Amino acid sequence: MFRVLISAAALAASSFAIAHAQESDDASWALVIHGGAGVIERGAMTPEREAEYRAAMAAALERGEAVLSADGSALDAIEAVIHGMEDDPLFNSGRGAVFTAAGRNELDASIMDGATLNAGAVAGVTQVRHPISLARHVMDNSRHVMLQGEGAETFAREQGLEIVPPAFFFTERRWAAMERTLTSLGLDIPARPDGAPDAAEIDHGELDRDAREHRFGTVGVVALDRAGNIAAGTSTGGTTAKRWGRVGDSPIIGAGTYANNQSCGVSATGTGEFFIRLTVASRICALVEFQGLDLQAAADRVIMDELTAMDGDGGIVALTPSGEIAWSFNTPGMYRARLSEGGFPVVAIYGDED
């Protein structure tokens, strides 16, 4: 498997620069978002594509701000932000999801309420337009925490959520990336899905960039509302050409998503198997709650030290009830953005950005 970790010196520099407290002490709501991590380096991305990502992350902040500034809940802000990202082919979530080895888009999502510790998650859904909303319905309207596959989709229909044909999620660049991966593994390429458009020409240079940049295209949000409640949510299409019903960390509470008003909220993106083993999201919050670490120190201990020591790669965004914001990643870049009430929006991509 292709993996790149930046050097120890670069990690230290990145750690110093990549997370900050909120801009004003009296801010009452706050928001932090990621759009995936990977080998995202200056000069490797076209200026046009970089502008598209910056605009998409800024728009995600605007959706969250619209909810939170109107006294909406952190949970509502999570849904509003991720809905747009699930509909944006730039991200490996919803309509931009990668394909499995069987030629399917299998979508995972989770959401958690820091006020109650209630949570909902779904895995392997193929026809639900907004998996993050299905995860919330699991949390709010069922006795369970996680549903998967056909059962989750049956529940979605019963809840009146929007159902779409699988071809709704099809994008040519993700299909081409799956074909390339299967060819490199010596595996058969499946037939194009029913309803998919005719094959289109793909820029192979773009595929090369995608392979580096979008190793982890998961999207995630942590929000703090004016009532002082935290929520976290994550949505993903998983990994390109995954097999055997593989499920990563994104729908697993405590690994890819966690929120607790007593400590913090976290959403993660990375090699899910390592995030599951380390229970990354809840581990960061436990360090804040039980060892008294500040959020940045807790995030860096888990991501820069523990995850890196396991040869795991990826990153997180996090937020405390006091409005302290952090992000930490051990890859060269991560699409990320933050905004606190009364402050200025920050959108960043590369490891050397604020």
CB under 8 Å to 282, separation ≥6 — which residues? 253, 254, 255, 258, 266
Q: Which amino acid is at 49?
A: R
In the numeric block, the tokens 């008003």 are attached to 261
The active-site residue out of 100, 171, 181, 218 is 218
The per-residue b/e assignment along 132-146, b for 16 or more CB within 10 angstroms, e otherwise, is: bbbbbbbbeeeeebb
Among 117, 193, 131, 139, CA closest to 162: 131
CB-count burial class (<10 Å; 0-12, 13-18, 19+) for 304? buried
Among 220, 218, 268, 224, CA closest to 67: 224
Q: Count Cβ atoms below 10 Å from residue 26 Cβ, excluding itself.
A: 9
218 catalytic per annotation? yes
CB-count burial class (<10 Å; 0-12, 13-18, 19+) for 200? exposed
3-class state of residue 118 by DSSP: coil
3-class state of residue 44 by DSSP: coil
Residues recognised as catalytic: 218
